[in-house]
Amino acid sequence: MAERIRTKLTEGLQPQTLDIVDDSAKHAGHAGHRPGGETHFDVMVVAAAFTGQSRVARQRLVYRLLADELRDGVHALALTTQTPEEAAQGSR
């Protein structure tokens, strides 16, 4: 699943930085968790495509790109979305 996420976000956003961490083990016993993981992800994306967009618009864009993955078992995404300028300034 992490590779599917990486492929979709790379194709859709051409990110400068893309970090994907499977945090599923931290959610054992919680809603949406499955044995084997790949249900909860922490995703950090730095992309020029986010320039001029609100935080909500950026997240909607990511969710639109990952609609199939969300239907196929991804339960939760923790998203950090930044423009290259924001990342260079160290803001989060």
Can you give the CATH number for the domain in which 17 is found? 3.30.300.90
The number of distinct structural domains making up the chain is 1
Looking at per-residue pLDDT, the higher value among 79 and 32 belongs to: 79
The arithmetic mean of pLDDT across residues 12-38, rounded, is: 76
For the stretch 45-86, pLDDT in tens is 999 999 999 999 999 999 999 999 999 989 899 999 999 999
What confidence tier does 38 reach under pLDDT thresholds 50, 70, 90? Answer: confident
Closest by CA position to 59, among listed 26, 33, 82, 85: 82
Q: Which residues span the domain enclosing 10?
A: 2-89
Look at the block and give the residue holding tokens 């986010």: 50
- What's residue 90's pLDDT? 86
Q: At what angle do helices 55-65 and 2-13 cross, to 10 degrees?
A: 120
What confidence tier does 35 reach under pLDDT thresholds 50, 70, 90? Answer: low
Q: E-strand spans in the chain?
A: 17-22, 40-46, 76-82
